[in-house]
A and B are shown apart, each in its own frame.
Chain A
Amino acid sequence: MKREPVLEAVDIVKELGSGAAKVQALKGVSMALRPSELTLLMGPSGSGKTTLLSILGCILKPTSGDVRVVGESTIGMSAEQLATVRRAHIGFIFQSYNLFPTLSAIENVRIALDVRGQSGFKAAARAEEVLRDVGLGHRLRYHPGNMSGGEQQRVAVARAIAASPSVVLADEPTAALDTENGHAVMALLARIAKEQARSVLVVTHDPRTLPYADRVVRIEDGRIVGEERRPEGLDAPEITDLAKRRKAHA
């Protein structure tokens, strides 16, 4: 049975710049993200990946089109209303981690709960729980400057999922990591999608991420140009050769 999308972009157009410098970064993009699914959004530099991620994350407003979060349209929402939508439904993971350097790992996670009005012992316990869940139980009081890139990205993952959002949006989460850490972070995101029934969208051009995808959406020049889905029962790594197999069958 097809599950209802938690995040949906409908015919999104986004123009950036003005006057002669105006460019259309997105040209009528539609896509839907469903629970328990890890989607990769892949495409070359300048294809519109990050712009689409920003719009899906309610950070940028589209020039036209609609973003529906758990079925609710965001058309006409103010910046504060969009922030409320982000608080309620969306978790972010950034390429450069964007952790607060003056806060410890547990405080970095707690602040994501604090902006959602969750504070005190309960929030501290939840922050510790998610950090242990991502394998950082031994680094709770460490500051980002004293942690490896992989550990920092796992703190960022913990921060993104601490408030149990419906959707996790990740911008090049493996770009700054070595192979081992890159795989660890992707495995973690895949587990979050499966075990916690969340929708995870990863913007990437890193082929190492392919084995973890349930679906790969390709974007070029502001348009969705292809979509591949891993068939039921297919082992994760096999999706890397999905395109080749389909060509072979054809």
Chain B
Amino acid sequence: MILTLAFRNLFHDRVRLAVTLIGILFSIVLVAVQLGLYLGSSRMITSNIDNARGELWITAFGAKSFEDGGLLLHSAERHQALAAAGVAEVIPLVVSFAEWRRPNGGSTRVVVVGTDPEDGGLVPWSLTDGTWLDVKSPDGIAVDKSYLAELDVKGIGDTAQVAHGRVRIKALTEGVRSFTQAPYAYMPISRARHLLGAPGDATSFYLVKLQPGADVESVRRDLKSRFESAEVLTAEEFRDRSLNTWLFQTGAGVALIGGALLGLLVGTVIVAQTLYSSTKDHLAEFATLRALGSSSGYIHKVILGQAGLSAVIGYVLGMIIALAVVYASRGTPLPMVMTPWLAAALFAVTIFMCAISALSAIFKVTKIDPAMVFSK
């Protein structure tokens, strides 16, 4: 009967129900969009780190992110690392911003990523047109389809000037986007060094693969003791550092999270107001329940039932809109991401928001005087 009464109270006033649901819906969509963008941004920022196969990263001291490695490491560090117990492979990566000259004039920035996938380090993923063998052919590179217009090229076979050399698009990826909006240009490591005018052993990062059974922490300690101007980070630490740099030091993440919190706040206030006014309208009924001998817990459950039902209906409607926004954002430079985990978290947040909103109404009925049932 608690849910029946909660349901009837809720649907008794359709206008108020609509206001409640709009409040929750607005809140859910806003939070979903903000967190979806945050998640999408996070994925873009860490996609190269997540797709690299190595337990440890050797970076130049103070490297802030994948794009910020510089070309400060050399073969000496590689040899030192290979000498450490437990290290199986040390794979170089070259990553650097470079100028892309558009064929029809003007220029834009790209992130040159030099890698040799045969080493088993960073293997370009989501190659939809062409293969890595095509990229290895003279001047070959791979870029993402979504940036073709930005790069002023039409597709495979088109050429452009990057830094000190000419490149030809030989393969295309799909969905490999860059948070900095400077497209990733994947190519063999030697070509990357050539384009960037870097020495033959200049390297941004070394990916360290461990021997089976080796302890990550002890290998890391050993490696750290060997380098003076390089850092040794776990993949997780490097991810966190990259996220921190791009999302929090730039303020982008704070803005996204702030927007999500604002959405929650607005939703909570709207739901709290409507639940409070609904409770006030049904005060005589709650007093009757109290006079009939109901515990205060029973009445609280009715109010929480109203809040819970509002949350479920509002969540379903909000998620339908949020998923439509996710779908619409697929082809944009900053696509939203919705995962089962985020959907579950949003549901929990909605329930929590509505439960918090119910507090003012609960305080109101806590003070209820059952003697009011005798007022004529």
* Residue positions of A touching B, CB distance < 8 A: 50, 53-54, 57, 59-60, 79-80, 83-88, 90, 92, 94-96, 98, 100-103, 107, 110-112, 114-116, 119, 159, 171-172
The CA of A119 and the CA of B374, in the complex, are separated in Å by 27
**Across-interface contacts of A57 in B (CB, < 8 A):** 291
Q: Which of B4, B288, B293 contacts A87 (CB 8 A)?
A: B293
B289–A92 touching, CB < 8 Å: no
Q: Which of A83, A96, A103 contacts B295 (CB 8 A)?
A: A83
Of B5-13, B183-191, B327-335, which stretch is located at the interface? Answer: B5-13
Q: A86-B293, A90-B293 are in contact. Are A114 and B12 (CB under 8 A)?
A: no
A53–B374 touching, CB < 8 Å: yes
**Across-interface contacts of A87 in B (CB, < 8 A):** 292-294
Whole-angstrom distance from the CB of A212 to the nearest CB of chain B? 22
Q: Which of A59, A86, A102 contacts B371 (CB 8 A)?
A: A59
- Of the A-B pairs whose beta carbons lie under 8 Å apart in the complex, a sample of 6, sorted by A's number, is A50-B374, A87-B294, A95-B374, A100-B5, A100-B8, A100-B285
Q: A59, A90, A171 — which one has the most chain B CB atoms within 10 A of its CB?
A: A59
The CA of A213 and the CA of B85, in the complex, are separated in Å by 101
The CA of A53 and the CA of B374, in the complex, are separated in Å by 9
Q: B12, B290, B292, B371 — which one has the most chain A CB atoms within 10 A of its CB?
A: B292
Q: A83-B290, A92-B292, A102-B12 are in contact. Are A114 and B370 (CB under 8 A)?
A: no
Q: At the interface, yes or no: B359 with Cβ under 8 Å from chain A?
A: no
Q: Which of B1, B284, B295 contacts A111 (CB 8 A)?
A: B1
**Across-interface contacts of A79 in B (CB, < 8 A):** 296
New A-B pairs, 11, CB < 8 Å, besides A84-B293, A96-B376: A53-B374, A80-B296, A83-B290, A95-B374, A98-B284, A98-B288, A102-B12, A111-B292, A112-B292, A115-B289, A119-B1
B291–A59 touching, CB < 8 Å: yes
The chain A residue with its CB closest to the CB of B10 is A102
Q: At the interface, yes or no: B125 with Cβ under 8 Å from chain A?
A: no
**Across-interface contacts of B295 in A (CB, < 8 A):** 80, 83-84, 115
How many residues on the B side are at the interface (Cβ–Cβ under 8 A)?
24
Q: At the interface, yes or no: B61 with Cβ under 8 Å from chain A?
A: no
The CA of A115 and the CA of B4, in the complex, are separated in Å by 13
B8–A102 touching, CB < 8 Å: yes
The CA of A53 and the CA of B290, in the complex, are separated in Å by 16
The CA of A54 and the CA of B8, in the complex, are separated in Å by 29
A116–B293 touching, CB < 8 Å: yes
Q: A59-B291, A80-B296, A116-B293 are in contact. Are A102 and B9 (CB under 8 A)?
A: yes
B294–A94 touching, CB < 8 Å: no
Whole-angstrom distance from the CB of B364 to the nearest CB of chain A? 16
Counting from the closest, the 5 A-B pairs by CB-CB distance are: A87-B293, A102-B8, A86-B293, A115-B294, A114-B1
A111–B289 touching, CB < 8 Å: yes
Whole-angstrom distance from the CB of A51 to the nearest CB of chain B? 9
The CA of A84 and the CA of B295, in the complex, are separated in Å by 7
A98–B373 touching, CB < 8 Å: yes
**Across-interface contacts of B373 in A (CB, < 8 A):** 59, 92, 94, 98
Q: A100-B285, A115-B293 are in contact. Are A54 and B374 (CB under 8 A)?
A: yes
Q: Which of B8, B284, B285, B291 contacts A86 (CB 8 A)?
A: B291
Q: At the interface, yes or no: B2 with Cβ under 8 Å from chain A?
A: yes
Whole-angstrom distance from the CB of B295 to the nearest CB of chain A? 6
The CA of A5 and the CA of B294, in the complex, are separated in Å by 25
B374–A171 touching, CB < 8 Å: yes
The CA of A86 and the CA of B2, in the complex, are separated in Å by 19
Contact with A along B222-256 (1 / 0, CB 8 A): 00000000000000000000000000000000000
The CA of A159 and the CA of B292, in the complex, are separated in Å by 9
Q: At the interface, yes or no: B363 with Cβ under 8 Å from chain A?
A: no
Q: Which of A59, A115, A171 contacts B370 (CB 8 A)?
A: A59
